[in-house]
Amino acid sequence: MPFETIIGAWVAVGLTLFIFTFLYNDNPLFKLAENLYVGVSVGYTIVKTYDTVLVQLIWKPIVENGEWALLVPVAIGLLMLTRYVPKAAWLSRYAFAFIVGVGSGLAIPRTISSFILKQIEDTVRPLMTLIPGEGVSFTWNLLNPTSSLNTIIILVGVCSVLFYFFFSVEHTGPGKVVARTGILFLMIAFGAAFGYTVMARMSLLIGRLTDLIEFSDPSYGRPSLWLLGVTIILLIVMSRLSGSKQHKEE
């Protein structure tokens, strides 16, 4: 096995275990791993951005291919840096105006089309289907998202939730029933979202534990077992040290 893979396994196991120590209590091992994670992430992003944007997309096309038109976006981008010079900070407004203007122009029509119009179109479906010669048909299948029953459930859900957030009318009498129905739909939605969140977090735990099991293999030098022992010893030592410190202070 390549040496760098083994080193990578030891580093990955060590940092995973250090992060897991937070479940016991907040400690310097966790802080070390947390700060390393932030530092490495930011460092990686800076290096990739420098290489891709400055070198590949700006420097090389201008110098090697003579694409001088690229100097226009570069100039607009540089205007943003004027925010660090108080006297010239007003220049950055042009860059921000350009970004906000282009961004809004691109996003607003597309978002309205995709998330509002398409969703309204999907909500306002016929509740029953008229088949020529056979009459009106109503499908009861709960598992089919397009069945008549599900269409009614969605219609009731959308209307009752919208009514719940309509505060111009007091929620009393029949209005209270509709608002309560809206709350019921909201609770089901929150429950589903929370269930998926639990599943996602457990998946992350499974991912780390799978790696720890894989790295307990002798071909890696069993880093999971060795570093688990080291981490436990370090936790005990730190706990003793903080205990004696508290004792002295008292």
Partner 1 sequence: MTFAERMLKIDRRIIFLVIGLCTLLPLLYPVGLPIKISPEVRGVYDHIESLPEGAVFLLSLDFDPASKPELQPQAISLLRHAFKKNLRVVALTLWVSGTGLADQIITQVAREMGKESGKDYVFLGWSPGGNAVIINMGQNLYGAFPTDYNGKPTKGLSVLQGVANLRDVNYAVSLGAGNPGVEAWYVFGKDKYKFELGGGCTGVMAPGLYPLLRSGQINGLIGGLRGAAEYETLIDQKGRAIAGMDAQSATHLAIVVLVILCNIFYFSLRKQGKQRGYSGA
Between 88 and 100, name the residue whose CB sits nearer to partner 1: 100
Q: Provide the minimum distance between the beta carbon of 1 and partner 1 in the complex, in angstroms, as a whole number.
A: 15
Between 115 and 166, name the residue whose CB sits nearer to partner 1: 115
Q: Provide the minimum distance between the beta carbon of 56 and partner 1 in the complex, in angstroms, as a whole number.
A: 7
Between 85 and 116, name the residue whose CB sits nearer to partner 1: 116
Between 111 and 129, name the residue whose CB sits nearer to partner 1: 111
**Residues interacting with partner 1, by CB under 8 A?**
23-24, 41, 44-45, 48-49, 52-53, 56-57, 61, 106-107, 110-111, 113-115, 118-119, 121-122, 145-146, 189, 192-193, 196-200, 202-210, 213
Q: Provide the minimum distance between the beta carbon of 233 and partner 1 in the complex, in angstroms, as a whole number.
A: 19
Q: Provide the minimum distance between the beta carbon of 189 and partner 1 in the complex, in angstroms, as a whole number.
A: 7
How many Cβ atoms sit within 10 Å of the Cβ of residue 33?
A: 19
